[in-house]
């Protein structure tokens, strides 16, 4: 696993690029067809409460505001994206970093939907896989779609880092 340390900054850039790809996609959906997604301020509020020892909420939207929660949400969003980017070289090895292929990236991207479905959404008060929302299947479909975009971002960012790190 020494190759993880040797390629640390490359993997971090892959995570940043993949997360930015998600954000660009979210922005385009919002501006073109009005589709909204997770308010990163609410993510920051949840993370802020984690630091205070509280993980589960009846409704994170009704919880008291945390100072700088939007900034904390953005930072957390990118930290999570970077964290998950390490799964590719851990699962597929150094070879994937040198010669990235799309399917492992898509697999990891879609696989990361487990985190919001079974950790974040229940902890924020909207149930397992958004089961307590008015339209849970719509939320789930959006979750799968955005995490697929993250997978494409992992692949594209890995290709770009190979150009930069030659």
Q: pLDDT of 125-163, one tens digit each?
A: 999 999 999 999 999 999 999 999 999 999 999 999 999
Report the pLDDT value the prediction gives residue 14, as an integer from 0 to 100: 98
Please give the structure tokens belonging to residue 77. Answer: 């969003």
Taking the complete model, does pTM exceed 0.85, yes or no? Answer: yes
Tell me the pLDDT tens digit for each residue of 46-88. Answer: 999 999 999 999 999 999 999 999 999 999 999 999 999 999 9
CA 121 to chain centre: 13
Tell me if 165 sits within 8 A of 17, measured CB to CB: no
120/65 Cα distance (integer angstroms): 18
7/80 Cα distance (integer angstroms): 18
Report the pLDDT value the prediction gives residue 81, as an integer from 0 to 100: 98
- Contacts of residue 74, defined as CB under 8 A and 6 or more positions apart, other chains included, come to 40, 44
Tell me the pLDDT tens digit for each residue of 7-46. Answer: 999 999 999 999 999 999 999 999 999 888 779 999 999 9
């Amino acid at each position: 696993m020494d190759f993880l340390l040797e390629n640390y900054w490359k993997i971090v850039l892959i995570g940043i690029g993949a997360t930015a790809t998600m954000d660009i996609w979210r922005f385009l959906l919002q501006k073109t067809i009005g589709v909204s997604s997770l308010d990163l301020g609410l993510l920051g509020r949840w993370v802020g409460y984690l630091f205070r020892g509280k993980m589960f909420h009846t409704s994170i939207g009704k919880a008291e505001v945390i100072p700088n929660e939007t900034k904390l949400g953005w930072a957390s969003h990118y930290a999570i994206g970077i964290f998950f980017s390490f799964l590719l070289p851990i699962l597929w090895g150094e070879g994937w970093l040198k010669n990235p292929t799309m399917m492992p990236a898509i697999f990891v991207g879609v696989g990361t939907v487990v985190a919001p479905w079974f950790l974040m959404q229940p902890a924020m008060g909207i149930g397992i896989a958004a089961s307590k929302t008015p339209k849970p299947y719509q939320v789930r479909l959006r979750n799968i779609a955005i995490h697929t975009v993250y997978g494409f971002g992992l692949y594209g960012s890995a290709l770009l880092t190979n150009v930069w790190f030659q």
